[in-house]
Chain A
Amino acid sequence: MLLDADNISKTYRGSVREVRALENVSVAVDAGEFVAVCGPSGCGKTTLLLVAGGLLAPDGGTVQIGGKDPYAIPANERALFRGANVGFVFQQFHLIPYLSVIENVLAPAIAVGGEDRRERAEHLISHFGMTDRMHHLPGQLSTGERQRAALARALLNKPKLLLADEPTGNLDQENAEAVLKYLAEFAADGGGVLMVSHDDAAVQFAQRSVRIHAGQLVTA
């Protein structure tokens, strides 16, 4: 099992009120599996993704990534573990604006070193059809190109698990399909993908899907 999030609960405690974002939600992703989590905005999808990715500790339940609980290790080790094992793709791409495409793709190498990083980055850029955009800044790219660059960055450290938060939310249909195909391709190659989306069309690319409503799993 690449990801096993079991019985996860998470409550945001503000000064005025509490928001129960997740309540006993469980989701698992196996190797070679593309799982979609769908539901309306504000239902807790992104919270689930952050908890699953080792970025947000749950109030209840356990998370295992490749059999290891990221919340059982110190914060700095967890960051390193995350960098080596989990790739993130976001709706807003979150490319660093002053770095070129190749530099953005290479950014995870700051955290997790390794040999042949440059070759792998160039290979990924080529794979996503952006060789001619390698030295361009994010501001000079189309939205589809930005998301492909973000995908390439997520894959640099050869993670087993890819977590995608509304990866097609800002893309046109053509680019959205291209990105979803890449995610499916990653799963087909033996990786695991957990995608959250409110777009039913995007969910169609997943092998299976779960639905969340008001922080609770409603459909399996």
Chain B
Amino acid sequence: MSVFRLILREVVHRRTNFLLVLAADTIAVACLIGAMTLLSADDIRTTEILQQRQEEVDAAGKALEDEIRKSMTKLGFNILILPGNQDLHEFHTRGTLSETMPEEFVNRLAESSIVTVNHLLPQVTSHVEWPEREVEVILVGTRGEVPIMHRDPKKPLLEQVPPGQMVVGFEVQKKLNLSKGDEVTFRGKKYTISETHAQRGTSDDSTVWVHLTEAQELLGMQNLINAILALECNCAAQDRVAEIRDEIAKILPGTQIMEVGPPALARAEARNRAKKEAEEAKAREEISRAQQQQQREAFAAILVPLVIIACAVSIGLLTLTNVRQRTAEIGILRAIGLRSLQIMAIFLGKSLLIGLLGAGLGYLLGFVIGVAGGELPASWETATLLFDPATLVAALILAPCLSGIASWIPSMLAARQDPALVLQEV
């Protein structure tokens, strides 16, 4: 015979009392675990939503960036690096560049540690007659991109025009009825049309592109260029242009920089605006979720302790009822030699047993409520995600402690009962 066996026998005998105390303990644990699981589910959902928002922001940014990249390719240039003595009035009014600078400038730029420019295209450009076809065109000579040495190679935005080939703008192609593969003679030199551009609505429509060296020869400008086109500069904002200007001025003193392609800038600004709005939406979502979380936490912070206190009081009262029911039993146990600590152990042992069972049942109940009632879909995956062994262990420790504390005073009263008084009364 042992105290534990005595406890088990009594539990079976007085099932109602046992089940009521167990229910109180289970409710206390379920309430706590339920609240914790719901808050945890809410946390996970918040993280998911914010991650989703971030992905949307990234995707929007990427899509716009890609779009802008393409549009920049079509639109031409972002930055023109021009000889220092070039009259910009000439460029703005006539669209031509009469001053030159050494072609070597582009190499110097490419070999520098420039960070504000991504693609470099040296070019010569001039309004010329196409005597064989009796038409005036803008001749652009380009040798393709000069790779920036200290960078990882980037995919070129513009393919170079190979020697002996010519790319023609929409108006030139239309006026001269040219198509891809046609052989033409331009200023005494034979070219094959390698590409015809669709209408762009800019001066590109009246332009023909040939290889840089051939253009230099045609224009008598060997080893000279009119401009360096810097594409995809980090010039989405106005102040960035100043940065680019400063950086280039240090490498190529005596040159001047001109921003081109306002539509590209507008698109870049639009991109920035879209990105900013997406980021603001994400921030608003973050604030809203945080407020909801705070409200739930505040609610749980009031409700959970109240329920736990109510359950603890219930456990204490039910244990007191149990002590009163067992007055005669306590008297006889004391008479046959049980010490007060052993009497206390009988009642506290029962409470701990109930606490342990209540922890298991309460955890299960609270967890199911948390999984089923949370913001995440009720599924096995959600359960796996939300299950926290540390919480289960804590429940298995705290619930017996709760019922032990709640039934401490009734157990003390039982232990301090005077057996003589009890035996005289019953």
Q: Which of B331, B333, B334, B423 has the most CB of A within 10 A?
A: B423
B419 close to chain A: CB less than 8 A: yes
B-side interface size class: 20 to 34
**Separation in Å of the A91 CB from the closest CB of chain B?**
10
B9 close to A98 (CB less than 8 A): yes
B12 close to chain A: CB less than 8 A: yes
Which single member of A79, A98, A117 contacts B334 (CB below 8 Å)? Answer: A79
Cβ contacts B1-31/A at 8 Å (1 or 0 each)? 1110110011011100000000000000000
Residues of A contacting B332 with CB < 8 Å?
88, 90, 94, 96
A76 close to B333 (CB less than 8 A): no
Question: Contacts A94-B331, A98-B12 known; A56 to B1 CB distance under 8 Å?
Answer: no
**Separation in Å of the B328 CB from the closest CB of chain A?**
6
B384 close to chain A: CB less than 8 A: no
Question: Contacts A55-B420, A55-B423, A98-B12 known; A110 to B340 CB distance under 8 Å?
Answer: no
Cβ contacts A49-62/B at 8 Å (1 or 0 each)? 01001011000000
Residues of A contacting B424 with CB < 8 Å?
46-47, 50
**Separation in Å of the A39 CB from the closest CB of chain B?**
16
Residue of B nearest to A106 (CB): B1
Residues of A contacting B13 with CB < 8 Å?
97-98
Q: Which of A47, A55, A75 has the most CB of B within 10 A?
A: A55
Question: Contacts A50-B424, A97-B13 known; A88 to B1 CB distance under 8 Å?
Answer: no
Which single member of A79, A80, A96, A153 contacts B329 (CB below 8 Å)? Answer: A96
Question: Contacts A111-B336, A112-B337 known; A50 to B3 CB distance under 8 Å?
Answer: no
A83 close to B337 (CB less than 8 A): yes
Question: Contacts A55-B419, A98-B10 known; A111 to B337 CB distance under 8 Å?
Answer: yes
Bound CA span A33–B396, Å: 56
Cβ contacts A157-175/B at 8 Å (1 or 0 each)? 1000000010000000000
A111 close to B6 (CB less than 8 A): no
Bound CA span A200–B210, Å: 141
Residues of A contacting B1 with CB < 8 Å?
103, 106-107, 109-110, 117
A99 close to B9 (CB less than 8 A): yes
Which single member of A90, A109, A111 contacts B423 (CB below 8 Å)? Answer: A90
Question: Contacts A50-B423, A56-B420, A111-B342 known; A153 to B12 CB distance under 8 Å?
Answer: no
Q: Which of B333, B334, B337, B339 has the most CB of A within 10 A?
A: B337
Interface size on A, residues (CB 8 A): 33
Q: Chain A binding site: helix, strand, loop or mixed by DSSP? A: helix
B341 close to A103 (CB less than 8 A): no
Residue of B nearest to A82 (CB): B337
In chain A between 125 and 181, which residues have their CB closer than 8 angstroms to a CB of chain B? Answer: 153, 157, 165
B249 close to chain A: CB less than 8 A: no
Bound CA span A75–B332, Å: 16
Cβ contacts A114-130/B at 8 Å (1 or 0 each)? 00010000000000000
Bound CA span A106–B336, Å: 11
Bound CA span A96–B5, Å: 13
B394 close to chain A: CB less than 8 A: no
A209 close to chain B: CB less than 8 A: no
B426 close to chain A: CB less than 8 A: yes
**Separation in Å of the B416 CB from the closest CB of chain A?**
10
Which single member of B14, B331, B338, B423 contacts A79 (CB below 8 Å)? Answer: B338
**Separation in Å of the B60 CB from the closest CB of chain A?**
72
Residues of A contacting B342 with CB < 8 Å?
110-111
**Separation in Å of the B13 CB from the closest CB of chain A?**
3
A191 close to chain B: CB less than 8 A: no
A76 close to B339 (CB less than 8 A): yes
Residues of A contacting B331 with CB < 8 Å?
94
Bound CA span A82–B322, Å: 26
Residues of B contacting A153 with CB < 8 Å?
336
B309 close to chain A: CB less than 8 A: no
Cβ contacts A1-35/B at 8 Å (1 or 0 each)? 00000000000000000000000000000000000
Residue of A nearest to B329 (CB): A96
A55 close to B335 (CB less than 8 A): yes
Residue of A nearest to B337 (CB): A83
- Report which A residues bind B (CB closer than 8 A): 46-47, 50, 53, 55-56, 75-76, 79-80, 82-84, 88, 90, 92, 94, 96-99, 103, 106-112, 117, 153, 157, 165
By Cβ-Cβ distance, the 4 closest A-B pairs, closest first, are: A83-B337, A111-B337, A98-B13, A56-B420
- Report which B residues bind A (CB closer than 8 A): 1-3, 5-6, 9-10, 12-14, 328-329, 331-342, 419-420, 423-424, 426
The 5 listed contacts between A and B (C-beta, < 8 Å) are A82-B336, A83-B337, A103-B5, A112-B337, A117-B1
